A = this chain, B = another copy of it.
Amino acid sequence: MAGSEAKERKILVAVDEGEESTYALSWCLKNIVAENSKDTLILLYSKPPPPLYSAMDGTAYLFSTEIIASMEKYGNDMAESVMEKANSLCKEVHDVKVETRVEHGDPRDVICKMSEKLGVDMVVMGSHGYGMIKRAFLGSVSNHCVQNMKCPVLIVKRSKSAAPNK
Contacts and interface: CB of A to CB of B under 8 A. Distances in A.
A63 B149 CA distance: 41
A22 to B, nearest CB: 14
A155 B153 contact: yes
B153 A1 contact: no
A27 interface: yes
Interface stretch (A28-36, A43-51, A78-86, A103-111): A28-36
Interface in A135-166: 140, 142-143, 146-147, 149-157, 159, 162, 165-166
A42 to B, nearest CB: 16
Contacts of A9: 31
Indicate how many identical chains form the complex: 2
B154 A153 contact: yes
Interface of A: 1-4, 7, 9, 27, 29-35, 93-94, 121-122, 127, 140, 142-143, 146-147, 149-157, 159, 162, 165-166
Contacts of A149: 157
Nearest to A150: B159
A35 B4 contact: yes
A121 to B, nearest CB: 7
Contacts of A1: 31, 34
Contacts of A151: 157, 159, 162
Given A142-B146, A152-B154, A32 B32 contact: yes
